[in-house]
Structure formats: structure tokens, C-alpha cells
């Protein structure tokens, strides 16, 4: 009998790719939850409206066995909301726990939650890596909301017996990526010289295909129950290496000028761009050994292959 899976955020960056992957799995029947349905949209979609502490999930949960919760209020650089933590909590904490409580009551066996490496923190010392067992140290509103949701899910799992699986990705890249990765693509595509040819940090990334592959594994793998998994491509890059990789995948020249990263970071801090500087020059590395060993899982794509998937045949 096929496993019936409800995917929230089914039209989002991660959710849409997950829906494509699950649709061709012979052992899975998938239903996608979206905020609203367009005319003529596929029948394997259900509209639930805004996600918060009052959302009614009863129709979507009926008959399902697994929930994969990808929907979230995502991290926004330069957020102008007066109280961003309250906004993040409304969707990422209250919305998640409301869904999870209804899922447990409906007899859902497993709840897979897409969290964030920001639960661990914002940066690592060069050569050191976050692990799933580290003490959580979220710093911004987004990271705090994901951490609070994780805590609530673990408490619910202990009370109800519903299995909870938590996945914490770092920066996710792939076709249609937004945020920091999209900004990087624009910089390279413009062809302007960039003073980023001598950045020697290390950052873990995860290709969208690799993340989706892990999610699919966690839907049914016995070893995933009540575990927290970090995910990455298994190959850490400096900002300089990443820019060169993006340029190569795009078929563009990488015009990178070697300027002291320390000098650039100091200048960015003076200009009030400390958060941007941290992402460009700081390190953030994750250890996926627990994920590999617990699930016998290996990222199917290398970084080079993941970047090639972003740009196909060197699109302009």
C-alpha cells in the first residue's frame, strides 16, 4: 500500500521540487497544501489559507500517514516589520505546532519538519563544524522561531507518540533560488569585477536536489524517527570558490580581484553591513556524519553538479 504524504508549502522553493520528486515515487501518494488554489490547478492540491495558530488542516490530514512541513515565513534581509519575531512566531511556531497537534490527533505517524541551521547559530570558527547534538544558539528572529518550533514538536512527540524528524539545512541553492544566492548570481551575471578573490572562509551549502533526496529518505526510513539531521553537500567552499563555481556553471568569466577579506569586512561593518559581511567572509560549516551514518545516506550531487543544475545550458 502506498504511503500517503501531505506536503505543506507545495508551491514553494523546496515544496514544489519535493512534489515533483514524490509524484514519481510508486510507493507514495502525495497531496500538496497551498494557501490558495488557482483555477484549473491540479487536483492533488488543497487550499488551507494563511498558516497560523488557527488554520484548519482537517481536510488535508484525512487519510494521510506522513506530513512534510516545508511552509514557513522565511528569513528576510533588511526586514522592515516592526516586530519581526512576532511575525515569525505566528507562522513558524504557532502555525507549525497547530498543524502538528492536528496531525497527531488525526493519527499521522511521522511529521518531518524543515528547520534551519540558524537554530545552531550564525557562524562557526574556521575548521569547526556544527553538529546535530550541539547546544542551540539562534541569534535572529527567524532562527529563534525555528528553535521554538523544534522544542514544541519534541514535546508533542513525547506526549502523543507521533514521530518527529527535524532537518536543518544551511543555504539552499537551486533553480529559482532567492535571497543571498540570487544576489550572488546577479553579481556574477553583471560581469563587473568583484573584490572577492581572496576570501578564505568555509561555508556549507546544500543543493535543492540533495535536500529533497534527504527529505524523501526521512519519510519512510526507520532510523529517522525522532532524530535531528543536519544536511549539506559534504563539500565546503569559500566565498571565492563559490563565486568561481557559479561563474563556471553560468558560462561567465569570474572577474575576482584579490583584496584582503579583513579590510573588506572592516569596511562593510563601518557601512552598517555587518550581517552581509558575516555571510561573505565568515565561516559556517556543518557536520553531516550523523545523517550519513543513521540513514546510510550520501548526497547524490556534488557542488559542481548542483550548480550545473541551476543554470542548465549556460543561460544568459
- Per the residue annotation, which of 57, 88, 111, 142 is the catalytic one? 142
Conformational region of residue 93, where left means phi above 0, alpha means psi within -120 to 50, and beta covers everything else: alpha
Place of cell 527535524: 166
Q: Is 130 a catalytic residue?
A: no
82: cell is: 516592526
CA distance 98 to 100: 5
SS3 assignment for 271-291: CCCHHHHHHHHCEECECCHHH
Angle between helices 274-281 and 261-270 (to 10 degrees): 160
Angle between helices 179-190 and 239-250 (to 10 degrees): 60
Residue positions annotated with a catalytic role: 142
Amino acid at each position: 500500500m502506498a504511503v500517503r504524504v501531505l506536503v505543506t508549502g507545495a508551491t514553494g522553493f523546496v515544496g514544489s521540487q519535493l512534489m515533483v520528486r514524490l509524484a514519481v515515487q510508486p510507493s507514495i501518494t502525495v497531496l500538496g497544501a497551498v494557501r490558495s488554489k488557482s483555477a484549473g490547478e491540479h487536483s492533488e492540491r488543497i487550499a488551507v489559507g494563511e498558516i497560523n495558530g488557527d488554520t484548519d488542516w482537517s481536510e488535508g490530514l484525512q487519510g494521510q500517514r506522513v506530513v512534510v512541513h516545508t511552509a514557513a515565513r522565511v528569513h528576510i534581509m533588511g526586514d522592515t516589520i516592526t516586530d519581526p519575531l512576532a511575525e515569525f512566531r505566528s507562522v513558524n511556531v504557532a502555525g507549525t505546532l497547530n498543524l502538528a497537534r492536528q496531525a497527531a490527533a488525526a493519527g499521522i505517524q511521522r511529521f518531518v519538519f524543515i528547520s534551519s541551521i540558524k537554530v545552531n547559530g550564525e557562524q562557526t570558527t574556521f575548521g569547526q563544524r556544527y553538529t546535530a547534538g550541539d547546544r542551540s544558539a539562534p541569534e535572529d528572529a527567524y532562527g529563534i522561531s525555528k528553535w521554538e518550533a523544534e522544542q514544541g514538536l519534541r514535546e508533542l512527540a513525547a506526549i502523543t507518540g507521533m514521530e518527529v524528524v527535524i532537518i536543518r539545512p544551511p543555504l539552499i541553492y537551486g533553480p529559482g533560488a532567492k535571497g543571498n544566492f540570487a544576489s550572488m548570481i546577479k553579481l556574477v551575471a553583471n560581469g563587473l569585477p568583484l573584490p572577492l578573490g581572496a576570501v578564505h572562509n568555509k561555508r556549507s551549502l546544500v543543493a535543492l536536489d540533495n535536500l529533497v533526496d534527504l527529505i524523501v529518505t526521512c519519510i519512510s526510513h526507520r532510523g529517522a524517527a525522532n532524530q535531528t539531521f543536519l544536511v549539506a553537500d559534504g563539500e565546503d567552499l569559500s566565498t571565492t570558490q563559490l563565486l568561481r563555481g557559479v561563474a563556471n556553471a553560468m558560462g561567465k568569466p569570474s572577474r575576482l580581484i584579490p583584496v584582503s577579506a579583513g579590510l573588506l569586512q572592516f569596511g562593510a561593518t563601518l557601512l552598517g553591513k555587518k550581517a552581509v559581511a558575516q555571510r561573505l567572509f565568515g565561516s559556517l560549516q556543518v557536520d553531516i556524519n550523523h545523517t550519513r551514518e543513521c540513514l546510510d545516506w550520501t548526497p547524490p550531487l556534488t557542488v559542481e553538479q548542483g550548480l550545473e543544475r541551476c543554470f542548465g545550458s549556460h543561460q544568459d
